[in-house]
Structure 1
């Protein structure tokens, strides 16, 4: 069988993750999307809206 080219990835807010948000008070913004493994072999970074920071921030790809 052929190897699956499109994979599901998780994008996490880099601002929330860096500040070390406490689990009980606030969360960390995460988005689920897909990427083509051949076209983008490196980690993906996109600007998305973070509801915890109330602004557009860079969301980076994390491992599952």
Structure 2
């Protein structure tokens, strides 16, 4: 039931992280504040395809 999703930085659009989520419970796209090594700051990362 848990699917693998990729998280991309909203500032530089780089795909930095891979995580898993339960698509049955969480149908909307997730947003997490994580460290971006390209921007060198903490930014919001959104789920991409």
TM-score by length of structure 2 reads 0.90
RMSD (Å), alpha carbons: 1.0
Q: Larger Rg: 1 or 2?
A: 1
Larger proportion of strand: 2
Larger proportion of helix: 1
TM-score by length of structure 1 reads 0.71
The list of structure 1 runs, each at least 4 consecutive aligned residues, that deviate by more than 4 angstroms after superposition, is none
- Secondary structure of 1:16 counterpart: coil
Gaps of 5+ in 1: 18-27
Instruction: Say how many residue pairs are matched.
Output: 49
